[in-house]
Amino acid sequence: MNNKLKITFLGGVGEIGKNMTAFEYNNEIIVVDAGLTFPGDDLPGVDVVIPDITYLVNNKDKIKAIILTHGHEDHIGALPFVLAQIKAPIYATKLTLALIENKMKEHPKVNYKAVTVKPKNVLKIGAFSVEFIKVSHSIAGSLALCISTPAGNVVHTGDFKIDFEPIDGVMTDLQRFGELGKKGVNLLMCESTNVCRKGYSMSERSVGRALDEIFKSHPDNRIFVATFASNIHRLQQILNLAEKYGRKVAFTGRSMINITDVGMKIGEITFNRANLIDIDKIDKYADKELVIVTTGSQGEPLSALTRMATGDFKQIKIGTNDLIVFSSSPIPGNEKSVYNVINSLFQKGADVIYDELSEVHASGHACQEEIKTIHSLVKPKFFIPIHGEYRHLKMHKQLAMTLGMDERNVILPTLGAQIELTPNSIKKVGFTIAGQRLIDGYGIGDMDSNVLRERKQLSEDGVCVVVMTINNVSGDVVGDPFVITRGVVYQDEAESFVQDTRNMIVASLKEQDLRGCDPSVLRNTIKRSLSNFIFKRTKRRPMILTIVHLD
């Protein structure tokens, strides 16, 4: 028997987001998670980024299941694009599947089979035995996994924290982690997002207490709470406080409305629907009778809160009696956007409370002491840190070594890395195609896309368009060339620049015989001359479009 388990990392290592890992035993594959990430400033116009699944498509006949640890976008967001190319059943908890069903409405042509699982379920999927373990996180229905094959037991933590006061009353199943440790765990794959933070993560219930104090001490204000739509336990606490203090609740933002609706349908959120009002009806209530729960906690440009901050939200005008609570912390990279929104809200006279001022947010990810607890309970033979940038993975490796892990038994994964696990060994065995695929409207591209290069050029250097007519018989230029620029020169220079450009084009063509010329050759000639001229004049290389009419 070939007791070798091959693990292929297609996302979620060396980066935050787009988590995806393939486990392969003989000719069978199970995939854990199918997430996305959001583009940075270097990807203009791109909507989302998903893993490159070339390896899975090339082995699609081997794929027996897609298992989802929880319902956050960085774990399920790529699913519609994966299921369009791979037919395999998906396994997840009730809430995760409800969120997927909502998402798949935008992709009606993609058919899929969904199987609901619960903590403590054990499923036999081909050569794999998969056990689902309850963990706390910032979304309900989160799972860790124990994946068993003849190569040994693999514990995959998913995203987790150890919350001793969970909102749903069910703690991370530390007992089961300990039982698995006693039974013998060959490999631990543990998330690393907060490995740089010492101590323990704050309990979600502590956030509820902080919010309660805010509600109590601001009885006359109109209260806004900005938070992640997916944090159903946070939403439940906000709804409970609204009921406690006699306030009606209005939701803004499509994702907030959708997820709350899903949560109520499946019983993850309980609330008297009579206390919910439409955002269009808030003017019928006094400020002290309202709580507005909104998206935009990360300063997203089109979110409801950002539009309120810029005065671009029709139903709401922010004023001096408004209290805005950011029940979140900025995701790394979003700090500038978040603080821009906070500054704009202050400028409009509102009072703003955010995580630097009050304990209004609790991370869903384990800090150092919680991570140590899992390592100590599981006692793995081998270890691979996952779900983090390279600095997080490196720090996690060092933490594991302080707990007694031999450095030879730890592997730092990279995108595309393939690692082979046997009962007594672990090693890197190769690489496969991995990386990013860019979702842009209905299109899917890659990092070398001409479209992306052109967008970058447009954003950095602008565009120059030249339209001209050539008499095909005489070879003369008919009239002046039409020249227009955008983003190349400042307005006070534009008129002289355009005139000089026209003169340069006409002068460069005077020495050429243009009778019966090939328009494509002429376009390239003009483009070269114009590119050199503009660079000498501005030190920029704008996109140049030349249109030649033959008369």
Say which CATH number the domain at 159 has: 3.60.15.10
User: Amino acid identity, residue 137?
Assistant: H
Let me know: does 71 contact 101? Beta carbons within 8 Å: no
Question: What is the reported pLDDT for 332?
Answer: 67
Tell me whether residue 36 is in a domain: yes
Question: What is the reported pLDDT for 42?
Answer: 65
In a shared domain, residues 380 and 407: yes
Question: What is the reported pLDDT for 45?
Answer: 64
Pairing of β 48-51 and β 322-326: unpaired
Let me know: does 427 contact 419? Beta carbons within 8 Å: yes
| pLDDT tens, the chain, 551 aa long | 578 999 999 999 999 889 999 999 999 999 999 999 877 666 666 677 889 999 999 999 999 999 999 999 999 999 999 999 999 999 999 999 999 998 898 888 888 999 999 999 999 999 999 999 999 998 999 999 999 999 999 999 999 999 998 888 889 999 999 999 999 999 999 999 999 999 999 999 999 999 999 999 999 999 999 998 888 899 999 999 999 999 999 999 888 888 888 888 888 888 888 899 999 999 999 999 999 999 888 888 888 899 999 998 988 999 999 999 999 887 766 788 899 999 999 999 999 998 776 778 888 999 999 999 999 999 999 999 999 999 999 999 999 999 999 999 999 999 999 999 999 999 999 999 888 887 776 566 665 667 777 777 777 888 989 998 887 777 677 778 888 888 888 888 888 888 888 888 888 777 676 676 777 778 888 888 888 898 888 888 888 888 888 77
In a shared domain, residues 373 and 472: no
What is the Cα–Cα distance from 277 to 303, expressed in whole angstroms? 20
What is the Cα–Cα distance from 412 to 148, expressed in whole angstroms? 22
In a shared domain, residues 60 and 187: yes
Q: Write down the residue that tokens 């620049």 correspond to.
A: 497
Boundaries of domain holding 491: 462-550
Tell me whether residue 370 is in a domain: yes
Tell me whether residue 188 is in a domain: yes
Pairing of β 290-294 and β 222-226: parallel
Let me know: does 513 contact 473? Beta carbons within 8 Å: no
Listed in sequence order, the residues at least 6 apart from 79 whose beta carbon sits closer than 8 Å to its beta carbon are: 34, 66, 68, 90, 100, 103, 104
Query: Rounded to the nearest 5 degrees, what angle is found at the Cα of 332, between the Cα atoms of 331 and 338?
Result: 60
Within a 13 Å sphere around the CA of 165, how many CA atoms are in the beta-carbon half?
A: 11
Tell me whether residue 153 is in a domain: yes
In a shared domain, residues 161 and 209: no
Tell me whether residue 453 is in a domain: no
Token pair of 186, please? 């060959």
Question: What is the reported pLDDT for 375?
Answer: 98
In a shared domain, residues 100 and 235: no
User: Amino acid identity, residue 336?
Assistant: K
Token pair of 548, please? 């030649």
For residue 539, the domain's CATH number is 3.10.20.580
In a shared domain, residues 251 and 393: no
Token pair of 36, please? 């996305």
E strand or H helix at 259:
helix 254-265
Tell me whether residue 456 is in a domain: no
Token pair of 262, please? 């899903």
Question: What is the reported pLDDT for 475?
Answer: 67
For residue 299, the domain's CATH number is 3.40.50.10710
Looking at the DSSP assignment, which residues form a beta bridge with residue 131? 122, 146
Pairing of β 463-470 and β 477-486: antiparallel
Question: What is the reported pLDDT for 64?
Answer: 96
Tell me whether residue 454 is in a domain: no
Question: What is the reported pLDDT for 247?
Answer: 95
Tell me whether residue 299 is in a domain: yes
Q: What are phi and psi of 233, to 5 degrees?
A: -65, -35
What is the Cα–Cα distance from 208 to 385, expressed in whole angstroms? 32
In a shared domain, residues 208 and 195: no
